[in-house]
Amino acid sequence: MDIDIWVPLYPFMPYFLDRTRELAEQFTAAHPEYRIRVRGEDWLTLPQAVHDAARQGAAPTIAQYFYTSTQEALDARKPNGEPLFTPVERAIAGRTEILGEPVVLDDITPAARRYYTFDGEVAAMPPLTSTTLLYANTDLLARAGIDDVPRTWAELEAACRAVVRVADGPTHGISWPNHGWLFQQAAAQQGALLADHDNGRSGRAATMYLDSDAMLAYFHWWRRMHRDGLYLYRGRPTSTQSDWEANFRAFADQRVAFTLTTSVEAERIVGAGRDGGFTVRACRMPYNEQVPYAGNVIGGDALWLADGLDPDTMDGALAFMQYLNAPRAAADRHRDTGFIAVTDGAAQLLDQEGWFKENPHFRTALDQLAANDGSPAARGAVLGDFAEIQRVLTQAMHDVLVSDVDVRDRLARANSQAQRVLDDYDAACRGLRPRGPITVG
C-alpha cells in the first residue's frame, strides 16, 4: 500500500525532507506492507499544490502545512465538495497504538495541541514547533550595570538605554525583524484577538481586529524604541523573506545587546557568542507590563490526514505520524534542527540524557509555551491568506518607523486592507473568484 506524504521545502532548512525520507525507510522496514513516498513542495505554494491535486483526485495521503496555512487546510475540499482532511484525533478513535506504534498525539506539547484543536478535536499533528525568544549579550549587560535580563517592555527599554550609554558599546540596544510573527506574539501576550469568533476558532473569522488597543500599544512602543535610537532597523519592509540573517549578524557582531528571533536559532546565537567571546542567554520574550500576560503563540507546521482512506491505508498513515513523533525521533529532530521537542516524552528523554542541563538555552522555549493560558488570544489566530495579512502589518509598521504618519490612522488603514484580504479569500472559498493570494497596496 502506498502512502504519499508531501512536506514543505524551507529555504532555511533542507533537513526535514531528507530526514523524513530516512524515517520513512525505517518505518517501511518494520512495516513492509507499506511504501511511504515523500515529496517536497515549496512551503509557500504547498497548499495550492494540494488543492490542484485534490481537484484531479490525486491528493496526498498526508500533507504538512505551515501554521499560517491552517485555514487553507481546513477549507481544502475534494471534487465533490467534502472536506479533504479528517481530524487526526477522530481517525485515531481513542486507540493507544496503531500497527504496534504507540499513539503520541496526547503527548504533544499543550500549546501546539491547542493551536490545532477545532470543535474539541485535534485536527492535525505538529512535528515542528517554535516560538519567539529574546537573546541577551550578558557581557554587555554587565558593562551597563544590568544584573538580570528584562522581562517586560519597560525593562527592555530601560536596559537598552543603559547599553547605549556604555563607552565603546553598541550604538543600538536591540534589533528584530519586521515580520508578521512578531505582531501575532505581541497581540497574544496582551490577550488581544486579531479577528472575531475567538480568533477564528469558535467560527470562521469574518472581521479583522488589527487596530485594537493592544496593537496600537505595540506600534507606539516599537516606534518609540526606534525614534530614541534603541531599536536598529534596516529601513525596508519584509514579507515572506524577512531579513533574519541581518538581524542575526547585528547581534553576532555586538552592534546590539539584544535580539528577538525564533527559538530555532538558539544554538546558532549561543554559538555566535562563543565564537565572538561573549556570553548569550536565551530569555522569554518581554511583554507589555500594563496588561496581564496571556501567552506566546507557536510557529511551525502540522501533518494533515486525508479523509475517506480505506482502513488499512489510514492506519498506515496514522502509524507513520506517530513514528515521526515518537520520543526518540522527536528528540533527535530537536537536537538536529533546534525546533522545540514537540512531545512531553521527547522532552523527558532529553532531560534524562542531560541535554537541557548542558544546553539550558533549549529549555527556555518550552518554559515560555508552558506559560500559555490557553485563551483564544494565546492559542493564536486562524485566518485565510494569513501570509498576506502579515505582509499588510509589516508594511504598516515600516511606514510608522520611517515617516510621520499617525499611528492610529495607519493601523486603521492596515486593518481595512487586511479585511479586504480576508473577504477576498472567503470569496474564493465560495467560488466567487479564482483561488489564489490577493496582494493589496
Mean pLDDT value of segment 355-378: 96
Cell 550604538 sits on residue: 171
355 has pLDDT over 70: yes
What pLDDT is attached to residue 239? 44
- Percent of the chain exceeding pLDDT 70 equals 95
**168 vs 119, 137, 165, 231, CA distance in Å?**
56, 15, 9, 18
Name the band, by pLDDT with cuts 50, 70 and 90, for residue 360: very high
Mean pLDDT value of segment 420-436: 83
**55 vs 40, 280, 344, 429, CA distance in Å?**
19, 50, 38, 14
18 has pLDDT over 60: yes
CA 87 to chain centre: 20
Mean pLDDT value of segment 275-303: 97
> Strand 35-42 vs strand 2-9: parallel, antiparallel, or unpaired?
parallel
What pLDDT is attached to residue 241? 45
What pLDDT is attached to residue 240? 41
The least confident of 10-19, 159-168, 276-285, 397-406 is: 10-19
Mean pLDDT, all residues of the chain: 94
Mean pLDDT value of segment 396-424: 97
336 vs 11 pLDDT, higher one: 336
Tens of pLDDT, residues 181-210: 999 999 999 999 999 999 999 999 999 999
What pLDDT is attached to residue 433? 61
What pLDDT is attached to residue 16? 79
235 has pLDDT over 90: no
Tens of pLDDT, residues 239-257: 444 588 899 999 999 999 9
Tens of pLDDT, residues 294-351: 999 999 999 999 999 999 999 999 999 999 999 999 999 999 999 999 999 999 999 9
* Span 132-296+379-429 CATH architecture: 3-Layer(aba) Sandwich (3.40)
What pLDDT is attached to residue 10? 83
What pLDDT is attached to residue 432? 61
439 has pLDDT over 60: no
Tens of pLDDT, residues 41-65: 998 899 999 999 999 999 999 999 9
CATH class of 2-123+299-371: alpha beta
CATH 3.40.190.10 domain range(s) in the chain: 2-123+299-371, 132-296+379-429
Tens of pLDDT, residues 130-177: 999 999 999 999 999 999 999 999 999 999 999 999 999 999 999 999
